[in-house]
Structure 1
């Protein structure tokens, strides 16, 4: 896995934002869609901000861009049935993608160049396994942005112990994952407010369906994540984000704070 150390999170964003813009442009020239795998939360925000800035400076047609989200929280009703939260909820992963990815990009693009509603993808809780097939039918994910939980190395909502070959599925969230998400979504006032279940793309799905991946870790709080991923030789289910080292064309992007430099 190629390791890139950047001075700041903004430098990570600028590097990957420029790469994504070039990838979209090259796909357009070939008449192909470009699929970007996207996590929510803090880690990828510098990339989304930088990509929007790059598109504002030099617009590129994003009407064929597919934004594929990784996961979503699930709420349980009185009968125990699980369903996604409203997109207006501050912790909704769909809502995050609509506001901070698609909304941010479309705000700087002319109408004809904007990301199309049907090209914004989120796994479906009523048929999770179909997500893998849908991604595969489009040729896979050109670049999958990845992030690691600080406390337990979860990737998307895959908890420690997740099987290497797992596909998109519903999981019970580990307590440490839920604690990490108190910082990811600061409007949660207590652990009790963090949902206990999630819909997540699988460990095997990430490795099998990605042409390239970029793991993003920044901040001193991610030093253990950086150490674990940078030294991994194979997938370690105790730290699920180590799947990055088994992916094709894998890169680890960290700032100096996360790398301990």
Structure 2
């Protein structure tokens, strides 16, 4: 049975390993598009930084890479219509995808090798279920990178109690999720300034439309999350990031602070 938990001395070592795995998989896919599920936030930063560096070193062709973003904040108007915040707002995943993913990675590549702007996908807050159909029509996500909330195990914006069959939808953010997001992005200042709603992939979107998944845990504040995840054998709605165990080819990567006594 393959080892499911992999512990790395540092987040940089973890990021290096995972970034090289991503590039190897993209090459192996050949001429077909490669769908990479990506969270914003701090857990995957070392991976994204290593991906930019290694892609430049290897002159990797990322023109067929499709970055499938998991979620983003939305607002609701008086008529009940949802819309994204401005992409100039640095707290949004729209901003993260452009300025911490696409542009830094493209900076070291020749233009013909660039990640294309149209290959950054987000669920539409006015028709979120269409996101699942779009992913399915593209053949599914080749590799989904996941992260876990420290205090409640949320994955994307899926809170505790999220049904296993949930698909992409607009979610009212749980208070614990909003608190965690202040840690992720201190620019908010307080949980009261974190938007109340978000559009997010669902649990079934992750588990059923993914060929391979890696859940990444960085930092000592993720020790509880790691314990809860490794104690599970299948999806537990009380800790949504346990969805990893319902994914094909599932692995958990942790740095030594997150692993604690396991390291």
Fold conserved between structures, TM > 0.5: yes
Of stretches 77-86 and 248-257 in structure 1, the one that deviates more from structure 2 is 77-86
Partner in structure 2 of residue 172 of structure 1: 172
Write the mapping of 1:177-196 to structure 2, written as runs, cut at 5 A: 177-196=177-196
Partner residue in 2 for 1:39: 39
What does residue 24 of structure 1 align with?
26
Contact 2:81–2:126 (8 Å) recurs in 1? no
Instruction: Name the CA distance, whole Å, in 2 between partners of 1:129 and 1:173.
Output: 18
What displacement does 1:81 show?
3.2
Residues 67-122 of structure 1 show CA distances to partners (whole Å, capped at 9, x for unaligned) of 00000101133444321100111211111011111111111110000011111101
CA distance in 1, matches of 2:125, 2:69: 13
State the partner residue of 1:147. Answer: 147
> Per-residue deviation at 1:11?
0.9
SS in structure 1 at match of 2:177: helix
Structure 2 length-normalised TM:
0.96
Q: How does 1:12-91 map to 2 (within 5 A)?
A: 12-28=14-30, 31-91=31-91
Quote the residue 2:12 is aligned against: 10
Contact in 2 for aligned 1:218/1:254 (Cα 8 Å) = yes
SS at 2:73 equivalent:
strand
In 2, the alpha carbon distance for the partners of 1:77 and 1:202 equals 23
SS of equivalent to 2:234? coil
Q: Secondary structure at the match of 1:15?
A: helix
Structure 1: gaps of 5 or more residues: none
In structure 2, how many angstroms separate the alpha carbons of the residues matched to 1:208 and 1:94?
Answer: 25
Work out the CA distance in 1 between the residues paired with 2:107 and 2:123.
Answer: 25
* Whole-angstrom distance in 2 between the partners of 1:11 and 1:20: 14
Q: How does 1:126-141 map to 2 (within 5 A)?
A: 126-141=126-141
Q: CA RMSD in A?
A: 1.0
- Answer whether contact 1:90 1:185 (CA < 8 A) is retained: no
Deviations 1:201-254 (A, max 9, x none): 000110001000000001100000111111211111011000101110000000
Deviations 1:17-61 (A, max 9, x none): 000111111123xx2111100000000111100011101111111
Aligned length: 259
1:93 aligns with 2:93: yes
Deviates more, 1:197-206 or 1:80-89: 80-89
Write the distance in 1 (CA, Å) between the matches of 2:214 and 2:191. 30
TM-score, length-scaled by structure 1: 0.97
